[in-house]
Structure 1
């Protein structure tokens, strides 16, 4: 919803010979820091009277009118201005209805950061800004440990407001607490129950789920490390010296076996043996020839 500020201006003019009497009326709707209705009276274009809906009283603005008019005159002026104010309010309401500027109901929520935090009753999106938020305990107004927030404007022209109560979970479970939001469009009651509260706290995960998740993460880490080690070994073998690789691949079973010799070489290598001839023994002389 986009807020539209309506301003209605009226004038009343009277002439008497060479003198003139004028009244200017201004009616405003919208949540702005300005009186809803103002009236200014001028004689010969000089202001002599002022009235607005905040002070609800016609006051003199010049010394000569203050000296020449008595209190009953200002009482009549005040009543006339109050009547004009009501007329302007009716006209503004008609204009608002034609422009679809009707009241907008608030949206009410119960908020809590955690199970032990205070509970906040949050009303937002309402227009106009007049709203009251109160806490009820077992049907009676409850003011203890209650903090009411400031009225905050939204970007779309609506407003929001909060009221926070500090109670323990056991206390509000044993008693019936509720938040009562009163706006001209609607009265809304929110009972303080667990299913009505919007909270940021999360239910703790079971220990089995936590351990299972940790095991999965550990397996993933081990797998990644194993892949990295395998890849490094593979790259190392790829860049090694081929000759060294070939030598490393030749099996070693002991010292090398001696080379086989040919028959000729074996024969030559054998030591020569010449049998000694035995000289016949001369038995007689005992001398060997």
Structure 2
């Protein structure tokens, strides 16, 4: 996997993970917008996409083909009135127009033509720490823009200034820094309005958010590229929340990286649950006792599965059916990822590691 693909895949569903300080229970509300300069001609990939995520779960969605903001959680549909979705649709239609205009401005500023596809992205949101009294305390906000995978513009919430990491963004920085009401609004939205929405959504979805789902655990072998070897994989899937412990053991001893163990880390499934795969490559003739132990404290599950020493009969029969059946990716997110990756690959832009902060300048956001 390339550095760019690693960044984008991890960024969408886990955008706050590397920022969390030690402490209490964290919750986040994030909105991600992706615009392409022209159609790419691939099914399921839209010129403009917008989505809201709370605690890495998609809660609403909009794209340029359907042009309607829709709920992605039952409690969003049940708790929010029709006019919320109507106003939200109007807001995202306006943002779609704004992106169309500004991606053209950036192409002209950077002396680009329409031969290639260009990508403009925006992410904004807030994160809070749940206090003992049940209230959320603001930790941080983010408002970021990127263009073709490069940092373009960011709002420094602490100092209330725009940060321009590239020369092309300096003009915009100077213009926006000169508008005090814009900076005041941006800071106020991140620290107050965004937190108000996060608190409200947490209240609406409280039952679902607190409901823990236990993991399904599978231990299976698949063929390795080395004919004498197999790859033993422990798959835990369908669990929520995402905190989980997974260990593969040989004769009762836990295996680590030095033993050749690899892990996928925790990744999202299609149904708002999570999965994790740990694997180790061993000899087909290895007669050791292999087990997989999984502990998911939230659901009270502690289970240990033993390997039956069944060897895959031929290359290609590798247990992938299990993974596909119970661990589908977040389809909409990955379609957006695919579009961005296609553009970045064509441009050779593998390596920049952050989508960049920016403020909503389209008026009061209805999310």
Query: TM-score, normalised on structure 1?
Result: 0.36
| Greater radius of gyration (CA) | 1
Q: Which has the higher contact order (CA 8 A, sep 6+)?
A: 2
